[in-house]
Amino acid sequence: MQPIDCPATLAVTSAASPPGDWQVVTPTGTRSLDRIGFYSGPPSEQGSLAPDSTMEGGGKSRDVWTFSPSTDEPLWVACFYAGTTLFIAKPMPHGMKRCSVNYATTRSGSRLRLAEAHCQ
């Protein structure tokens, strides 16, 4: 198994040109890793993949993706951060067939944090 190595935090800055006397008010700073997702091809092409299954219980939640080895388009992994719509992404090594992303949850099932992620 190969761990997914998303950076734990992402430094975010903001740039905008508001009209007239308007001012941009955007929190900046470091954002914590929130979740991981996968794309069929570059994320700019918007090929986001939904998990094939989600299992919940015992204070945990697991999303599982199963990939077809015959796809010509490279798979991409995306790292999403709390408090921003910005994310980072990169192509995955060729030949990955399955990825699991585990989250710690509250008793009611709400996701608290990403616990671990790996592919094989």
**For 52-98, what is each residue's pLDDT tens digit?**
999 998 899 999 999 986 667 789 999 999 988 889 999 999 889 99
In degrees and rounded to multiples of 5, residue 38 shows phi and psi of -135, 150
Average pLDDT, the chain: 90
Distance CA(61)–CA(112), nearest Å, equals 10
pLDDT, position 52: 98
